[in-house]
């Protein structure tokens, strides 16, 4: 007799449990999805999980020191132009003047 879908699902769940598999879920924004799509294209992957697993294995193969540089989150440098700095200073001075006048 053929197995029902429920039987197949149960057997698959038992195999995953026996293998120690865990399901990972991760929410991402559109920019990360675009990067993943590009990586999938570069590596000719058709499945997200395949691409992510390959990336993890390859980064791990680099070793601790070489992988550390890749695992640092990108940081944006904030640069304040002289014009903006001057405007902030002027607004701060005006606010300080108003506060001083209110205290008198």
The model scores a pTM over 0.75: no
Q: Find out whether 55 and 39 touch, Cβ atoms under 8 Å.
A: yes
Q: What is the pLDDT of residues 44-100, one digit of tens each?
A: 999 999 999 999 999 999 999 999 988 988 888 889 999 999 999 999 999 999 998
DSSP string across 47-94: SHHHHHHHHHHHHHHT-HHHHHHHTSPP-PPP---HHHHHHHHHHHHH
pLDDT (tens digit per residue) in 9-48: 999 999 999 999 888 888 999 999 999 999 999 999 999 9
Contact by Cβ (8 Å): 60, 67: yes
């Amino acid at each position: 007799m053929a197995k029902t879908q429920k039987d197949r699902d149960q057997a698959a769940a038992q195999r995953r449990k026996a293998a120690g598999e865990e399901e990972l879920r991760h929410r991402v924004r559109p920019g990360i999805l675009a990067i993943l799509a590009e990586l999938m294209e570069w590596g000719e992957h058709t499945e997200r999980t395949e691409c992510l697993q390959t990336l993890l294995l390859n980064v791990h193969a680099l070793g601790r020191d070489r992988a550390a540089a890749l695992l640092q989150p990108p940081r944006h440098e904030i640069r304040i132009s002289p014009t903006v700095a001057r405007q902030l200073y002027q607004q701060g001075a005006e606010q300080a003047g108003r506060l001083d006048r209110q205290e008198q």
